[in-house]
Structure 1
Amino acid sequence: MKKLVSYLKEHKITEVECVVCDMTGIARGKIAPVGKFIDEKGMRLPESVLLQTVTGDYVDDESYDALLDEADIDFVCVPDENAVFKLPWTIEATAQVIHDTYDKMGNPIELSPRNLLKKVLKLYDDKGWKPVVAPEMEFYLTRINEDPDQPLIPPVGRSGRQESGRQSFSIDAANEYDPLFEDMYDWCEEQGLDIDTLIHEEGTAQMEINFSHGDALSLADQVFVFKRTLREAALKHNVCATFMAKPVTNEPGSAMHLHQSIVDTKSGNNIFSNEDGTKSPLFYSYIGGLQKFIPELLPLFAPNVNSFRRFLPGASAPVNLEWGEENRTCGLRIPESSPQNLRIENRIAGADANSYLSIAASLLCGYMGMVDDVKPSTPVQGRANETRGGAALPLTLEEALAIMAESSACREYLGDIFTNGYIAVKQADLENYRRVISSWEREFLLLTV
């Protein structure tokens, strides 16, 4: 706590937001005066926080009783001194501190997404390997939407006009929202978020932010904080920013592209490359692992009903597990690079995915591939959009959850508690979704059936 206390005093912090990340990626926790935070050296939260759904509901009674203590006890939250972010948008000087979660015996809480990522990283550490990741986050800017039954509309830019048509890579179209992005960059810099390039994506008012490559846990924290930062910057300018996987009909979905490579901790060399610069056997088996195991872990990449709208026929998302060099139609793309920077880009995850879980899942698939020496398919040279190579991807959340429930790999590496808890949360989300009557049903069924 010494380092953390020094930071709080140096920045004249008066309030601390003590947060943990739930299954959905929502920040849950408490806000405390800085003095109380320092005195208590953390906080406690009820175990049930980690089994809340996106609607704030809880899992069914049977799952609840099987996964949690009957007394609804607290777990212990310990602040991570390396995950402290000063919030630039608050009136009071406020710091957000990400916490790790433990039971009273000091054991990591298995339902915690951050703990799950740390568990996967421990597998790599035991092998003398260190993952290096670089996320790319796509998102849409829209007008503030007060009625969820109404479609989202592009916001008005500096010109006084809303964007129309698709403006891929347009500098002028991105500049329409300069005041918002200036605040976003300033706020990210103030928080130490290592964001890099901003581009206009294919969709109307769809953008992408690239993160610089680095430590997997740090980047997961940064994506978690960035989502909130961008939303706050957008609201300041009377705009909404959304990371929904498919927020607008007939527009491309939004992805979280995950670039990943593995470094040998002793030599510092990229294990995907041989000494002569050729691709190593571990490179190929990592791809094989992604192809074999992504279908079993797909709910960690596509966690919501809306996630699978990216996978509809004709959508721009690569609905396949093919791989190829410089091939954006493949779900697994190998960008052109030097041997030391050789990496794999996993293009399957949606922007709505929990950053801790999607990074953990991608790294775990690659790890299992290397350990089991899984052979990949033949690389694709042309278009891969019409194929579903390797193991086929489930195309609905129901199907994906059923496959995950039967996965021995999930049980072995993620554990029964996390696997059952995550599936229970997503099943509860699914049940809530089924209760809602959609505008499509009212439009086409109301007076015709």
Structure 2
Amino acid sequence: MKKLTAYLNEHKITEVECVISDMTGIARGKIAPVAKFIDEKGMRMPESVLLQTVTGDYVEDEPYDALLDSADIDFVCVPDENAVFQLPWTIEATAQVIHDTYDKMGNPIELSPRNLLKKVLKLYEDKGWKPVVAPEMEFYLTRRNEDPDQPLIPPVGRSGRQESGRQSFSIDAANEYDPLFEDMYDWCEVQGLDIDTLIHEEGTAQMEINFSHGDALSMADQVFVFKRTLKEAALKHGVCATFMAKPVADEPGSAMHLHQSIVDVKSGQNIFSMKDGTKSPLFFSYIGGLQKFIPELLPLLAPNVNSFRRFLPGTSAPINLEWGEENRTCGLRIPESSPQNLRVENRIAGADSNSYLSIASSLLCGYIGMVEDVKPSTPVQGRANESRQSISLPLTLEEALGVMSESVACREYLGEAFTMGYIAVKQADLASYKRVISSWEREYLLLTV
């Protein structure tokens, strides 16, 4: 705690937000005065928090109650001194500290998303490898929406006009929201978030922020913090920012594109490339692993009912696991690069996914591919969604959860407790969704059937 205490004193922090990520990616925790935080060296929270759904409900049905102690005991949350972020939008000088979770014996809690990512990274560490990740986050800006039954509409920009049409890569369209983005960049700099390029995406008032490449755990932390930062900046300027995968009908969905490469720790060389610059066998087996195992881990990349609206036929999102060089219609794109920077871009993950789980699942699929020498398909030329359907994805959350529940790889690598717990949370979300009568049903069925 010496490093963390010094940071809090140096920045004159008066309050600490002690947070963990739940399965959905929601920050849950406690707010404590800095003196109490330093004295207690962390916090305790009930185990059930990690089986909390997006609606705030808890998973309580059989057989999932076997995952928790019947007394709803606490787990221990230990602050990570390398995951401290000052919050620029608060009145009091406040720091957000991400915690790791352990049981009373000091064992990592299996249901923790952050612990799961660390578990996957340990597999790489044991091989002498280190993943390098660069996320790209797409999102929409919208007017504030007080009625969930009403569709989202674009906000009014500096010109006083609402954006209309699609303005891909338009500088002027992005500049409409300059005051918001100036705050976003300033706040990210204060927090040490390594964001890079801002792009106006294809959708109306849809944007993309690119992160610089870096350590996988650090990047997952940064995306977790960035989502909250952007939402706070938007609220300050009277609008909303959403990372829903498909927030607006007839507009493109929002993805979390994950660029990933693997470095040999001893040599510092990218293991995807041979010394002569050609692609290595490990590169091809990494792609093979993504193709083979993403369908089994898809709920970690597409975690919500809404996630699968992004995969509807005719949308701009890739609904395939084909791969190709410089081909954005493929679910797995190989950007043009030097041999040392050779990487795979996973374009399947939604912006709504939990950053810890999406990064962990993508890295895990590639890892299994390399250790099992899984062969990929041949690369695609042209439009992948139209060329063939040999490698398909589940197209509903219900179907994807069924595939995950049958996966041997999930239980072997993610663990029985995490696999059961995650499926339980998402099945509870699905059941909650099914109880809601939609506006479509009222519009087309109310007076016609």
Aligned counterparts, 1:271-282, within 5 A: 271-282=271-282
> Offset of 1:61 from its aligned partner?
2.4
> Offset of 1:386 from its aligned partner?
2.2
AA aligned to 2:338 is S
> Offset of 1:60 from its aligned partner?
3.4
Q: Deviations over 1:133-188 (max 9, x none)?
A: 00000000000000000000100000000000000000000000000000000000
**1:164 — aligned with what?**
164
Kindly indicate whether the alpha-carbon contact (under 8 Å) linking 2:188 and 2:226 is maintained by their aligned counterparts in 1.
Answer: yes
1:310 is aligned to 2:302: no
- Give the aligned length: 449
Aligned counterparts, 1:121-160, within 5 A: 121-160=121-160
> Offset of 1:391 from its aligned partner?
3.4
Kindly indicate whether the alpha-carbon contact (under 8 Å) linking 1:63 and 1:424 is maintained by their aligned counterparts in 2.
Answer: no
> Offset of 1:64 from its aligned partner?
4.1
Q: Distance in 2 between matches of 1:115 and 1:63?
A: 23
| More displaced stretch, 53-62 vs 142-151 | 53-62
Q: Distance in 2 between matches of 1:280 and 1:141?
A: 41
SS of the aligned residue for 1:228 comes to helix
**1:284 — aligned with what?**
284
Q: Deviations over 1:405-424 (max 9, x none)?
A: 00000000000000000000
Q: Distance in 1 between matches of 2:373 and 2:390?
A: 15
Q: Deviations over 1:67-105 (max 9, x none)?
A: 100110000000000000000000000000000000000
Q: Deviations over 1:308-339 (max 9, x none)?
A: 00000101100000000000000000000000
Q: Distance in 1 between matches of 2:71 and 2:184?
A: 43
Q: Distance in 1 between matches of 2:448 and 2:166?
A: 35
> Offset of 1:65 from its aligned partner?
1.7
Q: Deviations over 1:351-395 (max 9, x none)?
A: 000000000000000000000000000001111022565532000
Kindly indicate whether the alpha-carbon contact (under 8 Å) linking 1:166 and 1:202 is maintained by their aligned counterparts in 2.
Answer: yes
Kindly indicate whether the alpha-carbon contact (under 8 Å) linking 2:59 and 2:65 is maintained by their aligned counterparts in 1.
Answer: no
**2:36 — aligned with what?**
36
**1:68 — aligned with what?**
68
Q: Distance in 1 between matches of 2:257 and 2:213?
A: 12
Q: Distance in 2 between matches of 1:279 and 1:93?
A: 50
**1:241 — aligned with what?**
241
Q: Distance in 2 between matches of 1:47 and 1:112?
A: 10
AA aligned to 2:210 is N
AA aligned to 2:138 is E
Kindly indicate whether the alpha-carbon contact (under 8 Å) linking 2:322 and 2:391 is maintained by their aligned counterparts in 1.
Answer: no
Q: Deviations over 1:237-257 (max 9, x none)?
A: 000000000000000000000
CA pair 190-56 structure 1, distance change in 2 beyond 3 A: same
**1:269 — aligned with what?**
269
Gaps of 5+ in 2: none
Q: Distance in 1 between matches of 2:250 and 2:15?
A: 44
Kindly indicate whether the alpha-carbon contact (under 8 Å) linking 2:133 and 2:259 is maintained by their aligned counterparts in 1.
Answer: yes
Q: Distance in 2 between matches of 1:383 and 1:314?
A: 12
**2:20 — aligned with what?**
20
1:106 is aligned to 2:106: yes
Kindly indicate whether the alpha-carbon contact (under 8 Å) linking 1:253 and 1:317 is maintained by their aligned counterparts in 2.
Answer: yes
CA pair 405-64 structure 1, distance change in 2 beyond 3 A: closer
Aligned counterparts, 1:81-230, within 5 A: 81-230=81-230
> Offset of 1:37 from its aligned partner?
0.2
CA pair 382-287 structure 1, distance change in 2 beyond 3 A: same
Kindly indicate whether the alpha-carbon contact (under 8 Å) linking 1:221 and 1:356 is maintained by their aligned counterparts in 2.
Answer: yes
Kindly indicate whether the alpha-carbon contact (under 8 Å) linking 2:295 and 2:393 is maintained by their aligned counterparts in 1.
Answer: yes
AA aligned to 1:126 is D
Aligned counterparts, 1:228-377, within 5 A: 228-377=228-377
Q: Distance in 1 between matches of 2:357 and 2:198?
A: 24
Kindly indicate whether the alpha-carbon contact (under 8 Å) linking 1:292 and 1:390 is maintained by their aligned counterparts in 2.
Answer: no
Kindly indicate whether the alpha-carbon contact (under 8 Å) linking 1:321 and 1:388 is maintained by their aligned counterparts in 2.
Answer: no
**2:440 — aligned with what?**
440
Kindly indicate whether the alpha-carbon contact (under 8 Å) linking 1:78 and 1:99 is maintained by their aligned counterparts in 2.
Answer: yes
Q: Distance in 2 between matches of 1:270 and 1:258?
A: 17
> Offset of 1:59 from its aligned partner?
1.2
Q: Distance in 1 between matches of 2:389 and 2:445?
A: 37
Q: Distance in 2 between matches of 1:109 and 1:92?
A: 32
**1:392 — aligned with what?**
392
Q: Distance in 2 between matches of 1:417 and 1:318?
A: 31
Aligned counterparts, 1:376-415, within 5 A: 376-387=376-387, 389-415=389-415
Q: Deviations over 1:224-271 (max 9, x none)?
A: 000000000000000000000000000000000000000000000000
Q: Distance in 1 between matches of 2:15 and 2:62?
A: 38
SS of the aligned residue for 2:385 comes to coil
Q: Distance in 1 between matches of 2:59 and 2:388?
A: 33
CA pair 447-181 structure 1, distance change in 2 beyond 3 A: same
1:78 is aligned to 2:78: yes
Q: Distance in 2 between matches of 1:45 and 1:273?
A: 45
AA aligned to 2:419 is T
> Offset of 1:286 from its aligned partner?
0.1
Q: Distance in 2 between matches of 1:31 and 1:54?
A: 21
AA aligned to 1:202 is E
SS of the aligned residue for 2:80 comes to strand
**2:431 — aligned with what?**
431
Q: Distance in 2 between matches of 1:27 and 1:420?
A: 22
**1:59 — aligned with what?**
59
CA pair 319-388 structure 1, distance change in 2 beyond 3 A: farther
AA aligned to 1:224 is F
AA aligned to 2:281 is P
